Chains A and B, each alone.
Chain A
Amino acid sequence: MTAAGKRSLPISTIQVSLPPGQKAPDAEEVCIALVGNPNAGKTTLFNALTGLRAKTANFPGTTIERRVGHTRLADQRVRLLDLPGLYSLASITPEERLAREVLLGQRSHQPQPQGIILLLDATTLERNLYLASQVLELGLPTVAALNMVDLAERSAIEIDLEKLEAELGCPVVPVVARSGRGLDILRQHLERMIDPAGSSLARASTEPFCDCSGCPYKARYDWAEEVGARCINGRTTAHGVKTDRIDAILTHRWVGVAAFLSVMFAVFALIFWVAQYPMEWIESGFGYMGSVVGRWVPPGDLRSLLVDGVIGGVGGVLVFLPQICILFFFLALLEDTGYLARAAFVMDRLMRRVGLPGRAFVPILSAHACAVPAIMSSRVIEDRRDRLVTILVLPLFSCSARIPVYAMITALLFPSRPVLAGMVFTGAYASGIVAALVMALVFKRSILPGESRPLVLELPSYKLPNLRTALLTSLDRARIFIKRAGTIILAVSILLWFLASFPRSEPPAAALALQAEAQELSAAGQLEGAEDLVRESRQLTAQSRLAQSFAGRAGRAIEPVLRPLGFDWQIGIGILSSFAAREVIVSTLAVVYGVGESATNEDPSPLYDSLRDAVRTDGTPVFTTATSVSLLIFYVLAMQCLSTQAVTRRETNSWKWPTFQLVYMTVLAYSVTFLVYQLLRAWSLG
């Protein structure tokens, strides 16, 4: 090593500046940043070094993810910061700018790291050396981890480590992050790197590059190729015959699309089928919790709040947790194999036409489970315009919370005709997809003009996926989702419960009369008849209570607006109460049209019967074909999900976009529903 260690950077001189009031992570805590190309195995190495305790959050003020974990080096707790995958530090993308600022210590809330692990992929070393030259120039103590040396060996790529160390001026440790090979030696080097008394602090030996004339990338890549030529014996890169063969199929113009659809259908089917069991467990778990609370808390407002508001509301959302875990698990597996990049490549051709980038297919797929993780996963789209369009149209794809609503309306329309019912379902899903694509095109032609960003996407070599990485990703997402259910969704559930329960009103005269009758019957020994009457009286009370509540009054207030869509004030309550979560309309309608809540859970047929029998004041049925269809269309298109709004707000970092999303979707839902209802009525289906 030539210049290594001569000009070390004393750790004591590094200024860790934090704004007043900001808690320093730990004054004594050493922080090491992990830097490397995408697909170089950064996540795997990070997980191997930190284990389960890593936390994912955003860099303050950005939507770029920051993963922080801890590890022990020389009996010292060390923070490991995983920076986003980078090809260069040239500040082209927001990720690159952020990484550069973090490494230079220019970001507030984020002290400068005391050292860097520079991850290099041994199978594409020359390409990785480009970023290496920029990282080494920063002058921070650096240890290079040469990953995937096993794959390189298999491809007959021989890297002369001593020469490479001399060229880079920092220790180079061959590792296999997947199997853990070489990690002990990496740790030893890291310990030496952070040892304040140590003399082996590395710094770049590369001369600063003159990027002043011609192609600014040329000089560095020339250097990278020269270093590669000096340090690599045999082949410089893997030929990748296998990958080429698989790619001939998976990226084929038509076969590739068919393969993509099959893979996605399989993932979809797995999400729905596998998830239903844990979903049942969660449902019965919350049911059990409700009954336990019911046993210990005396009847009254507190019990109603705990059972209906808190447990019912949070449980109703947490029930989607298995779907989210399974979705992210499979996405992580697919990404790890290298297939996800091919899928984006194939889809780019088709989706570009409506102004959506190929990468948007990941969030679109997730949106069929739930728009919340979908919007979270839209982070794979780098460009702001593309990402905004995607986020704006994602809630139009039919999420699983719409399934109970679709099921209810299908049962109303075609009670015992499964083929027609299936067509209604398919039609609802297709309407959502068409609406999303049309709106993407509309946004492209109006508020978010421009082409989607041209594709530049690395197609990494195919690999066997790492289960551990996929499990950790899925756990990470689950953690974020549960946190949200415990905060915002909890708050909304309590608010809705309050609006539907207050102000309290007296039981109606009819209910009181029934109660009196029941008492007479039970006095006469006819216990069964008495029970029926009591149940009926409770139902009447619940109905009148809801009608008198804030929610009921609001339903009546908006009835004139909903009339042209074929909705009455009871449906209005349903729409308002399901503002926070769509599926709530099913239980609300059950209450308004006089079925006990239990009917919706066990055997739904009483609900559908009573809905079918429901009549307006003039004696005509409420749920005519026209009203049913228009309610279905309304639920396909309307926003009706506060959680989505909250996550849009977080991901776009402004209130403007969630507001716009709400307004455009409501206007769209209203106008389309209006048209459809009026047309159907004209055909005398109303």
Chain B
Amino acid sequence: MPTDHLEVSASGQAAGSADLEDWVSLDVIEIGHCARVTEVDASEADIEQLMAMGVCVGRRIMLMQTGDPMILKVLGTRIGVSARLARNVKVQPCLGDMFGEG
């Protein structure tokens, strides 16, 4: 399903209102927050590699550093990612520590 970028950033702003039910795009979550991947727009050619490294539906990720490129942590590994790619990943903020309980 192709994602409209405008729509993504709009929902990103909505996340600012602390509504945890909202889906946001990966490039707008905050540092140190844990989030679960809910959708990945696979129409971007280079996203496959990101998915192969674990950024795919169902995984919990954490933003370590903002900016372009940004740093994510997924499955215990840090990954440097261009913001351009991160825009294609939709996440839902999740509560609690992503580490420790397996």
Contact = CB atoms under 8 A, between A and B. Distances in A.
Interface in A288-334: none
A142 interface: no
Nearest to A228: B102
A454 B85 contact: yes
Interface in B58-89: 58-59, 64-65, 67-69, 71, 74-82, 84-85
A216 B51 CA distance: 9
Interface stretch (B6-14, B17-25, B42-50): B42-50
Interface string A325-346: 0000000000000000100110
A645 B67 CA distance: 39
A238 B81 contact: no
Contact of A130 (B40, B54, B80, B82): B54
Contact of B65 (A90, A237, A247): A247
A153 interface: no
A376 B35 CA distance: 40
A681 to B, nearest CB: 47
B100 interface: yes
Interface in A234-252: 235-240, 243-244, 247, 251
A179 interface: no
B56 interface: yes
A148 interface: no
A458 B53 contact: yes
Contact of B52 (A217, A232, A239): A217
A384 interface: no
B76 A247 contact: no
A456 B50 contact: yes
B92 to A, nearest CB: 14
Contacts of B64: 244, 247
Contacts of B82: 348, 454-456
The bracket for how many chain A residues form the interface is 35 or more
Nearest to B79: A458
B77 A124 contact: yes
Contacts of B68: 349
B57 A215 contact: yes
A456 B77 contact: no
Contacts of B77: 124, 127, 237, 458-460
Given A124-B77, A126-B76, A459-B79, A229 B48 contact: no
A455 B80 contact: yes
Nearest to B68: A349
B71 A251 contact: yes
Contacts of A239: 99
Contacts of A243: 78
B54 A458 contact: no
A215 B40 contact: yes
Contacts of A251: 65, 71, 80
Contact of A218 (B58, B78, B102): B58
A217 B51 contact: yes
Contact of B53 (A218, A225, A455, A456): A456
A232 B82 CA distance: 32
A666 to B, nearest CB: 35
Contacts of A456: 46, 49-50, 53, 79-82, 85
A454 B84 contact: yes
Most chain A CB atoms below 10 A, which of B52, B56, B59, B100: B52
A459 B78 contact: yes
A447 interface: no
A253 B67 contact: yes
A124 B59 CA distance: 14
Contacts of B74: 127
Contacts of A88: 52
A221 interface: yes
A215 B51 contact: yes
B69 A455 contact: yes
A214 interface: yes
Nearest to B49: A456
Contacts of A455: 69, 80-82, 85
A93 interface: yes
A229 B101 CA distance: 9
Nearest to A93: B49
Contact of B75 (A93, A126, A229, A358): A126
B56 A341 contact: no
A212 interface: no
A563 to B, nearest CB: 50
Contacts of B57: 214-215, 217-218
Contact of B76 (A90, A127, A130): A127
A228 B100 CA distance: 12
Contacts of B78: 240, 243, 247, 458-461
Contact of A235 (B40, B79, B100): B100
B75 A454 contact: no
Contacts of A459: 71, 77-80
A127 B59 CA distance: 11
A87 B52 contact: yes
Given A237-B75, A247-B64, A348 B102 contact: no
19 contacts: A90-B48, A215-B56, A217-B56, A217-B57, A222-B58, A229-B102, A235-B99, A237-B75, A247-B71, A251-B71, A253-B67, A345-B69, A455-B69, A456-B46, A456-B53, A457-B80, A457-B81, A459-B71, A461-B78
Given A93-B49, A458-B77, 11 more contacts: A216-B51, A221-B54, A240-B78, A348-B82, A349-B69, A453-B46, A456-B81, A456-B82, A458-B78, A458-B79, A460-B77
Q: Please list the 7 inter-chain residue pairs (A to B) with the smallest Cβ-Cβ separation, ordered nearest first.
A: A237-B76, A454-B82, A217-B56, A215-B57, A88-B52, A459-B78, A127-B75
